[in-house]
């Protein structure tokens, strides 16, 4: 049966892919392994947040709190019980993930239940507030290292486990989305009153979304604790929540593929920029600003100009050329002025990149890269020319 | 729906409050402390509080041998400091000193056949960044790490270096338990075991104080350790600690803690934290009416920013430091001349420049004297250090568990003189004098 | 009525009045920032996340102006004049107003047609951009301080709540001559000594005696002081409180008794109807941002100058911003007196948490208040507790 064939095929491919990734990354040394692990964790975080924000429409911006609960649960267990544990590390990771997920579930319940009636802005602030409360409470537990942090031993970084978790998260979210349950999530997102009138238990739906989303974040947190070997409250500030939100928004709220892709991009780019020299960063900055200007210019032209099409083409060309020129000039300016040299230092640009991404995205393309589209095999098939390919997924 | 909703709200609120309350009180489980694992799987746990402490008991040797330098290869030594953030003055100074040391070492001949490269790393005033910087340095092939100034950061560097067998020479980290992280951890400065009693003795004998209150930075293992050390010594000498208030680096408001503390009417306050908060705390204390209270502290005060943030309040206070720019010793004079030549005639702002120089120069000289150019032999060579004449004093590491017995000086915070010097020498103690 | 320092279950009631005063002074700052939040939310129904960063930029403006006036860390000023403070205040208010207008014009106005979430995300993005972008161009490592010297009013106003015990005061006074004598003897000896801490045995004995006398005297003085109860008001902070009240008075006048103010209230009541009635809503929104941002700027300048030791870096505005937002919600968002009330309550709540001994939870209390308010009375103290019906 084609249906099951595709299913098992995908799962097998995913597992093989994860193991392959582990082998490849291992070749490059611990530092690269660490980066790959972090990327995988961010994918899990972004997709799990997307379940709450994009699919169920509950604007939650305190996701780092669940991450933290998972991490600290795992850390605590590791310090007390790992010395007595004598099995393979992978099994330990599974145990710890389950514990992290459980802890985060409880936190998700605590955050989700009172937020039921709140919408939009207020919900966002409340989730942020809960995130901070959890962070401050953890920060005051001397047994958990207080505000300095504490060491989680031993350090375990297994790429395949991390990416399998990410794949599991994607699979679960996707299956939820395509099933009858998924439709209730979407319904609640679109119009709570109407869905309630249609018999959907809005409360239960929202709480479920929170619990599942937070559980995955907690599992990711558990893996994070072991990958970092040292966790402190400053690793789980509001900024981390904002980074995850940016990933979801960039990818397109409601698109699982989008969140995953955006997570990898937004994680990788700043890491790469950290290593780039100051000249290259000037160029990147200059070109980004130039690109934005070009896009805005072209958009304005397209809306306002009603002349012949050929002239439109010239305008676009002119705009692009002008943009390139401006980019070089900007890059040169950034490079030349000593006072601005600090601007182009890679490591400091990271959060600025995130902030600008958010703003520009909202101004130009609020629906994100993928909007609400997903990656699917039928889409690939369409690329190759096959027309009228039926969607392989089963809709409820 | 309203009724059901309300009871849900109440229930969750109660659950949440209950959890918060439960987490706050009740008997604490045995503190996890830290564990170190070796490749053979044996672990050593300990129940020291707080969780930034290294295991007590004997230092263990690293499980693996660190990297070797092949023929013709560059020798890479990592220098980590806080080049950004609150502790920027220390980071830039210590790296300045380290670079100067390399230059001088090369002028004296260097190590023939190999170029020595310093890999700078930025710990950005955060322990996690220090960890990342250390790991990056190790990944880039460093055979030794020189750094850091803050104990909290150095602990993370040590934890990253231990499993890889790489020696760490700390510049200004004074937390006593730091060197317990492994036999590969050394330092060129004194420890809090010396600093605390020095200030306690000074307070008791020289200033005649009997009732001290302490303000401890609960986010810095250095401050926690130093406060404990001071309190123990002060009580031993016969004094009384009337109150201890906690704050965290990054806080800007201290009036609450000061008010609480003032009610106990101390005659002195021990501010064991870093200069970034000490200045504001002193000002807040004066504003709260504690006009006669004397402020004392440790080497965490050592930065010109102390004067800006402390204003008039901090003038006339005393703290413990590593050496003084007015010292007569020839090494100090040479170093100062060299530093002035490179920095527009200015003297170093903090003692970390000299300590950074000492740390790097010691490492380079011990590397030259080592059996081979490898981390393992460098560790052995460092362990053998006897009577190394540093700018900040004589350094002996042999049999000292990584902690050289060094003289500690007490300086008074004075208004800057014509050359901008604001640390007035008060008195000095050797470790034996404060036992 | 003779209230000794009662320690009830660890609570020291003798420090309570001072803490309440501290709380009110802190709350004044929160109130100033909260006013900005509440007004913007009133007209735009938008939580201006970037307001905390406007606050931060106001502090930087004050810092740079103080440098320009000759109070750089490397300078050695001797005194100051009220004119300096006034200049800093006006500069901060002006710069913040401009920045507020720019943010509104380029980040929020294009978002008005979009979903509310989009505006919120833009606001978050703007806030992050100012924080981290500021990190790259503003001096923040290490964090900066405004030189305390720029405040010419350095004294303390001590308000006695309960007089000291006359007997104890007399006892202390009797001990003073002995102390003076011992001190003088030591000072005389010091002239022949190498240094204060390198004394001959005879000098050491005199020093010890002087210290002992000082201790005795201090102990008696402390006992006398403890028998009384007083509240310390640093002069600078009193100025801060007065300025805050004046600014709030001005604001109330503006909003209640002028045409513009009426237009503002109309827009906050119903955006579209106000437009239909001929109100230039864009101009009113800009005006709102000017008002709110300049108040934040004033608050920032006073916070950085009078609350000594305040460290300025680009994250300086984040926490006060969030707390002020909670204050606005507490008072009833959209309600101007509510914002003031909320701010004061927040300040007092925070200081009381410290007073109770939980200083490390001081930031958490803000969020706890937020959640409690949103759960049980979303309209705030002075708002209506309307339930959204369908």
Does the reported pTM lie above 0.90?
A: no
pLDDT reading at B3 higher than 70: no
Greater model confidence, B3 or A132:
A132
Cβ-defined contacts of B383-390 (< 8 Å, 24+): B383/B183, B383/B186, B388/B362, B389/B331, B390/B188, B390/B331, B390/B354, B390/B358, B390/B361, B390/B362
Give CA torsion, residues B395, B398, B399, B405, to 10 deg.
-10
The pLDDT score that the predictor gives to residue C4 is 42
A94 lies within 8 A of chain C by CB: no
Kindly state the average pLDDT of the residues C35-62: 91
pLDDT reading at A288 higher than 80: no
pLDDT reading at B201 higher than 80: yes
Contacts of C361 in chain A (CB under 8 A): 136, 140
Contact A79 B32 (CB under 8 A): yes
A148, closest residue in chain B (CA to CA): B219
The pLDDT score that the predictor gives to residue A327 is 76
Considering CB atoms only, which of A125, A343, A363 is closest to C370? A125
C277 lies within 8 A of chain A by CB: no
How many whole angstroms separate alpha carbon C335 and alpha carbon C251? 13
Average pLDDT, chain B: 84
Residue B70 CB neighbours (<10 A): 9
Alpha helices by DSSP H, C82-139: 82-103, 116-137
Residue B424 backbone dihedrals phi, psi, to 5 degrees: -95, 125
In angstroms, what separates the C-alpha of A106 from chain B's closest C-alpha?
Answer: 10
Contacts of C196 in chain B (CB under 8 A): 206, 426
- For the ranges A77-86, A370-379, B170-179, B349-358, the lowest mean pLDDT is seen at A370-379
The pLDDT score that the predictor gives to residue A296 is 66
Contact B128 A232 (CB under 8 A): yes
pLDDT reading at B49 higher than 70: no
Greater model confidence, B223 or B25:
B223
Domains of chain B: 51-190+329-406 (3.40.50.2300), 193-325+409-434 (3.40.50.2300)
How many whole angstroms separate alpha carbon C88 and alpha carbon C66? 7
pLDDT reading at A330 higher than 80: no
pLDDT reading at B40 higher than 70: no
Contact B31 A29 (CB under 8 A): no
Contact C148 B281 (CB under 8 A): no
Q: Bridge partners of B186?
A: B169
- For the ranges A256-270, B1-15, C286-300, C307-321, the lowest mean pLDDT is seen at B1-15
Is the separation of the CB atoms in B254 and C120 below 8 Å? no
Q: Dump pLDDT digits (tens) for A111-127.
A: 888 777 777 778 888 88
The pLDDT score that the predictor gives to residue A339 is 54
How many whole angstroms separate alpha carbon B167 and alpha carbon C224? 58
Query: In this structure, what token pair is assigned to residue C281?
Result: 């809503």
The pLDDT score that the predictor gives to residue C314 is 87
Burial degree of B20 (CB within 10 A; 0-12, 13-18, 19+): middle
C377 lies within 8 A of chain B by CB: no
pLDDT tier, C90 (very low <50, low <70, confident <90, very high otherwise):
very high
Q: Dump pLDDT digits (tens) for B231-256.
A: 999 999 999 999 999 888 877 778 77
Q: For chain A, give the percent of residues with pLDDT over 70.
A: 82
Contacts of C324 in chain A (CB under 8 A): none
Greater model confidence, C55 or C237:
C55
* Cβ neighbours for B44, distance < 8 A, ≥ 6 positions apart: B35, B36, B55, B57, B60
pLDDT reading at B25 higher than 80: no
C356 lies within 8 A of chain A by CB: no
How many whole angstroms separate alpha carbon C385 and alpha carbon C373? 11
How many whole angstroms separate alpha carbon B347 and alpha carbon B148? 21
* Cβ neighbours for C60, distance < 8 A, ≥ 6 positions apart: C134, C138, C312
A234 lies within 8 A of chain C by CB: no
Residue A307 CB neighbours (<10 A): 8
pLDDT reading at A344 higher than 60: no
Query: In this structure, what token pair is assigned to residue A178?
Result: 């395509």
Is the separation of the CB atoms in B229 and B280 below 8 Å? no
Q: Dump pLDDT digits (tens) for A212-242.
A: 999 999 999 999 999 988 998 888 988 889 8
pLDDT tier, C56 (very low <50, low <70, confident <90, very high otherwise):
very high
Is the separation of the CB atoms in C240 and C302 below 8 Å? yes
Q: Closest Cα partner for A56 from A206, A256, A199?
A: A206
3-class DSSP state for residue A307? coil
C378 lies within 8 A of chain A by CB: yes
- Interface confidence, given as ipTM, is 0.81
How many whole angstroms separate alpha carbon B320 and alpha carbon B278? 14
Token look-up 């803050």 returns B150
The pLDDT score that the predictor gives to residue A162 is 92
The pLDDT score that the predictor gives to residue B418 is 80
Kindly state the average pLDDT of the residues C123-143: 84
Of the candidate CATH numbers 1.20.120, 1.10.3470, 3.30.70, 1.20.140, the domain formed by C14-156+233-376 belongs to: 1.10.3470
Greater model confidence, C79 or A72:
A72
The pLDDT score that the predictor gives to residue C10 is 61
Chains in touch with B (≥3 Cβ pairs < 8 A): A, C
pLDDT reading at A24 higher than 70: yes
Q: Closest Cα partner for A358 from B317, C200, C127, C164?
A: C127
pLDDT reading at C352 higher than 60: yes
Inter-chain contacts counted by CB atoms under 8 A, chains B and C: 121
**How many residues would you count in chain C?**
390
Q: What angle do CA B220, B226, B230 make, to 5 degrees?
A: 150
* Cβ neighbours for B253, distance < 8 A, ≥ 6 positions apart: C26, C307
- For the ranges A135-144, A181-190, B220-229, B372-381, the lowest mean pLDDT is seen at A135-144
Kindly state the average pLDDT of the residues C278-304: 93
Residue A318 CB neighbours (<10 A): 13
- The angle, 0 to 180 degrees and rounded to 10, between the axes of the packed helices C318-331 and C51-68 is 130
pLDDT reading at B39 higher than 50: no
Tell me the CA distances in angstroms from A324 to A219, A336, B108, one per residue in order: 45, 18, 52
Greater model confidence, A15 or A388:
A15
pLDDT reading at C390 higher than 80: no
Token look-up 């097998």 returns A12
pLDDT reading at A86 higher than 70: yes
Is the separation of the CB atoms in B304 and B399 below 8 Å? no
Token look-up 């991490």 returns A71
Domains of chain A: 2-273 (1.10.3470), 278-372 (no CATH)
* Cβ neighbours for C50, distance < 8 A, ≥ 6 positions apart: C103, C107, C123, C126, C127, C130
Residue A21 CB neighbours (<10 A): 18
Contacts of B92 in chain A (CB under 8 A): none
pLDDT reading at A328 higher than 80: no
Is the separation of the CB atoms in B110 and B128 below 8 Å? no
Q: Dump pLDDT digits (tens) for A149-187.
A: 888 878 888 888 999 999 999 989 988 888 888 889 989
Greater model confidence, B432 or B170:
B170
In angstroms, what separates the C-alpha of C123 from chain A's closest C-alpha?
Answer: 8
Contact C364 A340 (CB under 8 A): no
For C:268-307, CB contacts with B below 8 A are 307
* Cβ neighbours for B80, distance < 8 A, ≥ 6 positions apart: B120, B121, B122, B123, B130, B133, B134, B137, B145, B146, B147, B148, B153, B157
Q: Dump pLDDT digits (tens) for B297-333.
A: 999 999 988 887 888 889 999 999 998 887 888 889 9
Contact C12 B260 (CB under 8 A): yes
Is the separation of the CB atoms in B184 and B168 below 8 Å? yes
pLDDT tier, B43 (very low <50, low <70, confident <90, very high otherwise):
very low
Contact A144 B159 (CB under 8 A): no
C137 lies within 8 A of chain A by CB: yes
C219, closest residue in chain B (CA to CA): B265
Chains in touch with A (≥3 Cβ pairs < 8 A): B, C
pLDDT reading at A286 higher than 60: yes
């Amino acid at each position: 049966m084609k249906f099951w064939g595709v299913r098992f095929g995908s799962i097998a491919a995913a597992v093989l892919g994860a193991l392959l990734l582990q082998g490849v990354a291992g070749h490059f040394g611990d530092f690269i392994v660490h980066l790959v692990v972090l990327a995988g964790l961010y994918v899990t975080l972004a997709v799990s947040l997307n379940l709450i924000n994009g699919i169920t429409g509950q604007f939650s911006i305190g996701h780092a709190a669940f991450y933290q609960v998972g991490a600290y649960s795992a850390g605590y267990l590791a310090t007390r019980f790992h010395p007595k544990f004598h099995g393979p590390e992978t099994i330990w990771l599974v145990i710890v993930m389950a514990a992290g997920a459980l802890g985060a579930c409880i936190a998700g319940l605590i955050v989700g239940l009172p937020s039921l009636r709140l919408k939009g802005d207020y919900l966002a602030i409340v989730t942020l507030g809960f995130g901070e409360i959890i962070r401050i409470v953890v920060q005051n537990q001397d047994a958990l290292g207080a505000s300095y942090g504490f060491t989680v031993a031993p350090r375990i970084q297994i790429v395949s486990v991390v990416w399998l978790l990410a794949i599991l998260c994607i699979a679960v979210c996707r299956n939820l989305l395509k099933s009858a349950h998924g439709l209730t999530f979407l319904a609640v997102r679109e119009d709570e009153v109407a869905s309630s009138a249609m018999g959907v238990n809005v409360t239960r739906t929202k709480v479920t979304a929170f619990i599942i989303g937070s559980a995955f974040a907690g599992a990711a947190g558990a893996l994070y604790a072991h990958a970092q070997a040292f966790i402190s409250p400053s690793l789980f500030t509001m900024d981390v929540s904002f980074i995850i939100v940016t990933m979801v928004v960039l990818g397109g709220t409601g698109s699982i593929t989008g969140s995953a892709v955006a997570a990898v991009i937004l994680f990788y780019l700043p890491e790469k920029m950290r290593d780039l020299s100051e000249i290259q960063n000037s160029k990147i900055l200059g070109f980004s600003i130039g690109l934005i200007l070009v896009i805005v210019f072209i958009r304005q032209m397209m809306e306002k100009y009603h002349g012949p099409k050929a002239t439109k083409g010239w305008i676009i060309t002119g705009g692009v050329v002008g943009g390139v020129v401006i980019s070089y000039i900007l890059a040169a300016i950034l490079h030349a002025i000593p006072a601005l040299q600090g601007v182009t230092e890679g490591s400091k640009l990271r959060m600025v990149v995130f902030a600008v991404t958010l703003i520009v995205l909202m101004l130009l393309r609020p629906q994100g890269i993928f909007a609400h589209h997903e990656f699917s095999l039928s889409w690939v098939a369409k690329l190759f020319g096959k027309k009228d390919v039926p969607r392989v997924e089963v809709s409820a | 729906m309203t009724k059901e909703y309300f009871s849900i709200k109440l229930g969750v609120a109660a659950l949440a409050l209950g959890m918060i309350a439960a987490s706050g009180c009740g008997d604490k489980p045995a503190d996890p402390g830290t564990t170190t694992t070796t490749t053979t799987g044996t672990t050593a746990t300990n129940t020291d509080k707080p969780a930034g402490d290294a295991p007590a008991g004997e230092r263990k040797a690293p499980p693996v041998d660190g990297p070797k330098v092949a023929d013709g290869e560059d020798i890479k030594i990592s220098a980590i400091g806080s080049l950004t953030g609150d502790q920027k003055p220390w980071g830039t100074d210590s790296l300045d000193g380290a670079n100067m040391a390399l230059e001088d070492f090369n002028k004296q001949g260097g190590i023939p056949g190999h170029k020595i490269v310093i890999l700078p790393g930025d710990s950005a005033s955060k322990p996690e960044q220090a960890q990342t910087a250390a790991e990056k340095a190790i990944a880039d092939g460093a055979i030794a790490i020189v750094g850091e100034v803050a104990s909290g950061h150095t602990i993370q560097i040590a934890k990253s270096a231990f499993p890889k067998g790489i020696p760490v020479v700390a510049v200004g980290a004074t937390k006593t338990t730091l060197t317990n992280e492994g036999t590969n951890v050394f330092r060129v400065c004194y420890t809090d075991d010396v600093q605390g009693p020095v200030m306690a003795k000074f307070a008791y004998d020289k200033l005649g104080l009997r009732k001290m209150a302490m303000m401890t930075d609960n986010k810095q293992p250095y401050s926690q350790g130093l406060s404990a050390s001071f309190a123990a010594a002060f009580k031993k000498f016969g004094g009384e600690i009337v109150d201890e208030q906690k704050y965290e680096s990054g806080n800007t408001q201290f009036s609450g803690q000061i008010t609480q503390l003032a009610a106990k009417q101390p005659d002195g306050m021990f501010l064991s934290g870093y200069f970034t908060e000490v200045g504001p705390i002193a000002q807040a204390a004066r504003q709260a009416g504690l006009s006669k209270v004397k402020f004392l502290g440790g080497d965490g005060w050592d930065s010109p920013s102390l004067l800006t943030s402390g204003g008039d309040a901090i003038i006339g206070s005393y703290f413990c430091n590593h050496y003084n720019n007015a010292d007569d010793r020839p090494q100090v004079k040479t170093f100062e001349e060299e530093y002035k030549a490179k920095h527009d005639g200015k003297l170093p702002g903090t003692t970390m420049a000299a300590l950074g120089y000492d740390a790097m120069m010691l490492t380079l000289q011990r590397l030259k004297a080592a059996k081979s150019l490898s981390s393992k032999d460098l560790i052995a060579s460092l362990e053998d250090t006897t009577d190394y004449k540093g700018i900040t004093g004589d350094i002996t590491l042999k049999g000292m568990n990584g902690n050289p017995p060094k003289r500690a000086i007490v300086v008074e915070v004075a208004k800057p003189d014509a050359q901008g010097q604001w640390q007035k020498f008060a008195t000095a103690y050797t470790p034996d004098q404060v036992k | 009525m003779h209230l000794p320092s009662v320690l009830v279950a660890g609570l020291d009631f003798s420090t309570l009045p001072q803490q309440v005063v501290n709380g009110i002074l802190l709350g004044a700052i929160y109130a100033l920032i909260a006013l900005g939040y509440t007004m913007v939310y009133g007209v735009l129904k938008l939580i201006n996340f970037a307001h905390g960063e406007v606050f931060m930029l106001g502090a930087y403006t004050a810092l740079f102006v103080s440098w320009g006036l000759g109070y750089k860390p490397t300078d050695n000023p001797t005194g100051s004049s009220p004119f300096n403070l006034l200049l800093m205040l006006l500069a901060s208010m002006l710069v913040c107003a401009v920045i507020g207008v720019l943010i509104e014009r380029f980040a929020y106005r294009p978002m008005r047609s979009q979903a509310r979430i989009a505006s919120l995300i833009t606001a978050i993005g703007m806030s992050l951009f100012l924080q981290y972008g500021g990190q790259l161009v503003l001096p923040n490592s290490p964090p900066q301080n405004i030189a305390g010297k720029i405040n010419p009013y350095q004294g303390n106003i001590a308000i006695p709540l309960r007089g000291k015990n006359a007997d104890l005061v007399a006892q202390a006074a009797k001990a003073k001559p002995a102390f003076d004598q011992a001190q003088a003897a030591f000072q005389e000896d010091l002239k022949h000594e190498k240094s204060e801490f390198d004394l001959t045995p005879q000098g050491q004995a005199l020093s010890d005696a002087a210290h002992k006398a000082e201790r005795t005297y201090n102990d008696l003085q402390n006992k006398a002081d403890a028998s009384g109860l007083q509240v310390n008001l640093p002069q600078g902070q009193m100025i801060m409180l007065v300025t805050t009240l004046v600014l709030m008075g001005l604001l109330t006048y503006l909003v209640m008794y002028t045409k513009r103010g009426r237009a503002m209230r109309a827009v906050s009541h119903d955006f579209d109807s106000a437009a239909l009635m001929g109100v230039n809503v864009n101009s009113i929104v800009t005006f709102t941002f000017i008002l709110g941002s300049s108040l934040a700027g004033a608050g920032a300048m006073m916070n950085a100058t009078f609350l000594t030791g305040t460290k300025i870096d680009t994250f300086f505005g984040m926490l006060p911003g969030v707390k002020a937002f909670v204050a606005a919600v507490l008072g009833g968002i959209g309600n101007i007196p509510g914002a003031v009330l909320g701010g004061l309550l927040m300040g007092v709540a925070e200081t009381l948490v410290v007073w109770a001994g939980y200083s490390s939870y001081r930031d958490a209390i803000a969020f706890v208040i937020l959640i409690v308010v949103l759960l049980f009375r979303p309209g705030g103290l002075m708002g209506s507790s309307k339930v959204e019906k369908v």
